[in-house]
Amino acid sequence: MQNSLILHIKKFISLEPSDIDKLESCLELSKIKKKEHILEEGQICNTIYFVVRGCMRQYIINSKGAEQTLQFAIENWWITDYLSYHNHIPSSFYLQAIENSEVIAIDKNVLESLLIEIPNLERYFRIVTQKSFGATQMRIKYLFTMSAEERYHHFNDHFPEFVQRVPQYMLASYLDFSAEFMSKIRAGKV
């Protein structure tokens, strides 16, 4: 079976066999254990990650010392801190595996040379980033217009399999309410 990243790229652009060879020679799978971090706050992020299997999250530790999940990434999603990556500034985020995962980690230097060798890859990254940006715009809309209960039901309706996969308290913080309130929503006690 072909590398799932290559399959994903082929959904957006066409690749010459020679491009596929180049990609395959550069990309390797790394296994990340549940709870392991691939980025911590304060570090400069020099790598972008493609999730082949498993689930990663981006989170912060807030002023009360509590974790807040800002983003999840499952199979076929990219995750990184683009601001740290592009501006060479310390990251504000943690990136962590929440399941035993397999990711393709592409270092900035490796990516730069790949983009030179396969210029068409710029197009792939442009399109997937624009689509993610669009999804984030919708997310902000939901955060702004729905109540906590509506956000929970909406998420549950659209991603029922995903809801089973992550701890409820992480999903609660991703939807911007407390774990206790989530319990009450689920119990119908609101």
Q: Which of residues 49-88 bind DNA (CB under 7 A)?
A: 64
Rounded to a whole number of angstroms, the minimum distance from the CB of residue 148 to DNA is 4
Specify the residue, 36 or 107, whose C-beta has the smaller distance to DNA. Answer: 36
Specify the residue, 30 or 62, whose C-beta has the smaller distance to its own copies. Answer: 62
Size, binding site for DNA by CB under 7 A: 20
153 binds, among its own copies, DNA, none (CB under 5 to 8 A by kind): none
Q: Show contacts of 172-180: CB within 8 Å, 24+ apart.
A: 173/59, 173/66, 173/67, 173/68, 173/69, 174/69, 174/70, 174/71, 174/72, 175/148, 175/151, 176/143, 176/148, 176/151, 177/148, 177/151, 177/152
7 binds, among its own copies, DNA, none (CB under 5 to 8 A by kind): none
Rounded Cα distance between 47 and 52, Å, is 15
154 binds, among DNA, its own copies, none (CB under 5 to 8 A by kind): none
